[in-house]
């Protein structure tokens, strides 16, 4: 702070400037404040004394240096005797042992902070702390009842619930979850108990089917055990209860004495032979009689029958092991008293083999024999097959039907096969090109079965190395010194000459044939179209009427060559018309008269179409397209004078003119 005085006249300072420092002394005028309150804290239940819960903090705006204005001391106003607080650090701790969450879960603690070191005259501030006790597993599960009783029908399905038990736990969350188990009374391992995750109930289910006839009740010991163990209290906790299960009798289907049946029968067994028998029994207290049937869906051929009363299976049709070795059928057993109670069993029938098939060649053999081969050369190796299947295996015996065959012999290879050998080297195709060798094959069954199989042997030409080159009949022509290629060339030349001769004769005959009627010029078989329009009778430039005449028969009659006439029609003299004076009406009438009276003329039609109307016709254009106006002053009476063919046209035009005048 500075102060200064001056003279009035001179405005000069009375004395030099001075400086003063003023220090403001703090007083305790601000109370402590909990800026982060209210507070929340938690501690496990049954915690030991002194266990820390949480810490609070208060601030004071006064000067902490001067005096005790900012020196704080903490204390508990509410919450004793459960909790305590450190006066200096403000740490809240457990003050009472054995606090149980199940008794009281939440506590409200009021904390005070006072300045001036807690002495009288100091200011104070308060806050609240909500302390929650967290759960630990300190309570065991407890069944609602000491014993349970359930009645379960014996036909209850596997996995179906038969009853429910419940063990309650005062804990919460994971500490309250329990698992159930059976520790006694289930020696047959028929039951199981599982936990329902939603309701925490134990569900009693079947692992195996019940049987009232064998056991009517069970006394089970069931235990409920906590899933989680706690490190403070130990554990896990558990509780047990007794569960009595009463089995209720139900009408069950008959039960077969075996789960499957296996029978065997020889394939030559006679009809109605008993193959075996099945048996089923109604185990209910009523002991109903049972009837047996074969499911025909498994025996479509109706190969077997069964006696409905005693279950004996008999043969209905002859068997063949080579067709079906096994037959699997289903037999049903039905209660007489209740037809809905049906049980099924599989019956497997094995067909036993007998020696009823003769052996035969394994393949359709065709052997080749070289002309230049040596005696003893192997022509073919032969093996046999047999559809039968003897237990000791197959053994085949071979022999030639002709014991002293002059050409061939056989050798046993000791492996159920033989080799066919040639006896000499004088085989020639010119003499015989094919040999049929019957061989008898016999098996070792009881009784033995045999068959005769024929081996076809062809004589062929071979190279020096014994490779077959040709087995054709060329052996008959090759000795004259010609090769096969030369013979093919000669044959091709002969065929070519024959073709040329046939063509020459055909053309010659066609050339000598008289062409009296030219098909291309026969206008009776053609339709001629023109793009020009005719000009009427006076138009002689657009079309020549001579086109309608046959050029070859204009001066006389030429007979038709496509038919043979029975009557001869006298030819007429051709009428010559001038180039500019053709009478079309007369010409057409003459041709029509000749066609009608000629018995040799077929009914040919000729169509002539003219698309051009000539110029200079007194009729003018018949088209309305070129009419200059709709009103025409032309007189069409002259059309009536043209003859009967134009009379109708003249009437049409005359009527049109009269209509216009009207």
206-225: per-residue pLDDT in tens? 999 888 878 889 999 999 99
| DSSP assignment of 98-128 | T--TTT--EEEEEEEEESGGG-TT--EEEEE
User: Once rounded to an integer, what is the mean pLDDT over residues 606-616?
Assistant: 52
The sign of the CA dihedral 136, 138, 144, 147 is: positive
Taking the CA of residue 391 as centre, how many other CA atoms within 13 Å lie in the half-sphere pointing to its CB? 4
- Spatial separation of the C-alpha atoms in residues 58 and 600, rounded to whole Å: 146
- Spatial separation of the C-alpha atoms in residues 385 and 584, rounded to whole Å: 96
Q: Across-strand partners of 380?
A: 420
Query: pLDDT averaged over the chain?
Result: 80
Q: What b-and-e string marks burial along 254-276, b requiring 16 or more CB atoms within 10 Å of the CB? A: bbbeeeebebebebbbeeeeebe
pLDDT of residue 400: 92
3-class state of residue 516 by DSSP: coil
Structural domains in the chain plus CATH codes: 33-134 (2.60.40.60), 142-248 (2.60.40.60), 255-352 (2.60.40.60), 360-470 (2.60.40.60)
Does the bond joining 236 to the residue before it have cis omega, within 30 degrees of 0? yes
Bigger pLDDT: 40 or 625? 40
**Tokens encoding 452:** 């005769």
Q: Quick check: 570 pLDDT over 50?
A: no
- Spatial separation of the C-alpha atoms in residues 457 and 460, rounded to whole Å: 10
Q: Quick check: 433 pLDDT over 60?
A: yes
User: Once rounded to an integer, what is the mean pLDDT over residues 527-532?
Assistant: 56
Query: Is-contact 210 154, C-beta < 8 A?
Result: yes
123-157: per-residue pLDDT in tens? 899 999 999 999 888 888 999 999 999 999 988 88
Taking the CA of residue 163 as centre, how many other CA atoms within 13 Å lie in the half-sphere pointing to its CB? 19
Q: What b-and-e string marks burial along 336-370, b requiring 16 or more CB atoms within 10 Å of the CB? A: eeeeebebebbbebebebbbebbbebeeebebebb
Q: Across-strand partners of 167?
A: 143
**Tokens encoding 205:** 């289910």
Q: How confident is the model at residue 302 (pLDDT cuts 50, 70, 90)?
A: very high
- Spatial separation of the C-alpha atoms in residues 605 and 522, rounded to whole Å: 11
pTM for the whole structure: 0.42
Query: Is-contact 459 371, C-beta < 8 A?
Result: yes
Neighbouring residues of 648: CB distance < 8 A, sequence distance ≥ 6: none
Q: How confident is the model at residue 531 (pLDDT cuts 50, 70, 90)?
A: low
User: Once rounded to an integer, what is the mean pLDDT over residues 435-459?
Assistant: 90
Neighbouring residues of 348: CB distance < 8 A, sequence distance ≥ 6: 260, 261, 262, 263, 326, 327, 328
Q: How confident is the model at residue 194 (pLDDT cuts 50, 70, 90)?
A: very high
3-state secondary structure 284-349: CCCCCCEEEEECHHHCCCCCEEECCCCCEEEECCCCCCCCCCEEEEEEEEEECCCCCCEEEEEEEE
pLDDT of residue 574: 47
Taking CA atoms, 283 is separated from 251, 329, 377, 618, in Å, by: 9, 24, 78, 124
Closest CA to 312 of 338, 293, 337: 293
261 — phi, psi (to 5°)?
A: -120, 145
3-class state of residue 492 by DSSP: helix
- Spatial separation of the C-alpha atoms in residues 222 and 202, rounded to whole Å: 9
Q: Quick check: 591 pLDDT over 70?
A: yes
In the block, residue with structure tokens 């197959």 = 394
């Amino acid at each position: 702070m500075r102060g200064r005085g001056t003279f009035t006249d001179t405005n000069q300072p009375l004395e030099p400037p001075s400086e003063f420092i003023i220090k403001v002394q703090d007083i305790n005028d601000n109370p402590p404040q909990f800026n982060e309150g209210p507070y929340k804290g938690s501690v496990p239940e049954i915690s030991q004394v002194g266990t820390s819960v949480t810490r609070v903090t208060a601030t004071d705006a006064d000067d902490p240096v001067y005096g005790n204005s900012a020196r704080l001391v903490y204390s508990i106003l509410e919450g004793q005797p459960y909790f305590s607080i450190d006066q200096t650090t403000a740490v809240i701790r457990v003050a009472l042992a054995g606090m149980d969450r199940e008794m009281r879960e939440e506590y409200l603690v009021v904390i005070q902070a006072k300045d001036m070191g807690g002495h009288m005259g100091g200011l104070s501030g308060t806050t609240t702390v909500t302390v929650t006790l967290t759960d630990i597993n300190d309570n065991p599960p407890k069944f609602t009842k000491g014993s349970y009783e359930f009645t379960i029908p014996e036909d209850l399905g596997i996995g179906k619930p038969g009853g429910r038990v419940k063990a309650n736990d005062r804990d919460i969350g994971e500490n309250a979850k329990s698992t159930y188990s059976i520790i006694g009374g289930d020696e047959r391992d028929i039951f199981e108990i599982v936990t329902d995750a939603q309701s925490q109930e134990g569900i009693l289910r079947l692992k195996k089917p019940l049987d009232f006839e064998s056991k009517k009740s069970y006394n089970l010991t069931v235990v409920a055990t906590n899933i989680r163990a706690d490190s403070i209290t130990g554990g896990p906790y558990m509780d047990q209860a007794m569960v009595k299960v009463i089995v209720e009798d139900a009408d069950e289907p008959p039960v077969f004495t075996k789960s499957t049946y296996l029978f065997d029968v020889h394939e030559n067994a006679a009809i109605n032979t008993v193959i075996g028998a099945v048996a089923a029994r109604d185990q209910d207290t009523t002991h109903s009689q049972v009837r047996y049937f074969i499911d025909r869906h498994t025996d479509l051929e109706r190969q077997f029958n069964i006696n409905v009363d005693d279950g004996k299976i008999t043969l209905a049709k002859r068997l063949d092991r080579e067709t079906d070795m096994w037959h699997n059928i289903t037999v049903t057993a039905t209660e007489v008293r209740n037809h809905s109670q049906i049980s099924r069993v599989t019956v497997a029938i094995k067909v036993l083999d007998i020696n009823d098939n003769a052996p035969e060649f394994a393949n359709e053999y065709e052997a080749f024999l070289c002309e230049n081969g040596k005696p003893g050369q192997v022509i073919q190796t032969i093996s046999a097959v047999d559809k039968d299947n003897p237990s000791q295996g197959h053994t085949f015996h071979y022999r030639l039907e002709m014991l002293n065959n002059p050409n061939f012999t056989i050798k046993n290879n000791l492996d159920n096969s033989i080799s066919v050998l040639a006896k000499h080297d004088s085989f020639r195709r010119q003499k015989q090109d094919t040999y049929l060798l019957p061989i008898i094959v016999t098996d070792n069954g009881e009784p033995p079965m045999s068959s005769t199989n024929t081996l076809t042997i062809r004589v062929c030409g071979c190279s020096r190395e014994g490779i077959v080159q040709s087995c054709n009949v060329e052996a008959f022509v090759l000795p004259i010194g010609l090769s096969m290629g030369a013979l093919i060339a000669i044959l091709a030349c002969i065929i070519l000459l024959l073709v040329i001769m046939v063509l020459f004769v055909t053309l010659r005959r066609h050339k000598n044939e008289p062409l009296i009627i030219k098909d291309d010029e026969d206008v009776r078989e053609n339709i001629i179209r023109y793009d020009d329009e005719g000009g009427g009778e006076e138009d002689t430039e657009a079309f020549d009427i001579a086109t309608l005449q046959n050029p070859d028969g204009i001066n006389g009659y030429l007979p038709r060559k496509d038919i043979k006439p029975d009557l001869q029609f006298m030819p007429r003299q051709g009428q010559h018309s001038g180039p500019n004076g053709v009478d079309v009406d007369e010409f057409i009438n003459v041709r029509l008269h000749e066609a009608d009276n000629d018995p040799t003329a077929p009914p040919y039609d000729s169509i002539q179409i003219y698309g051009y109307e000539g110029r200079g016709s007194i009729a003018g254009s018949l088209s309305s397209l070129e009419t200059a106006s709709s009103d025409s002053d032309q007189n069409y009476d002259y059309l009536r004078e043209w003859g009967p063919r134009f009379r109708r046209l003249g009437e049409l035009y005359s009527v049109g003119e009269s209509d216009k005048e009207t």
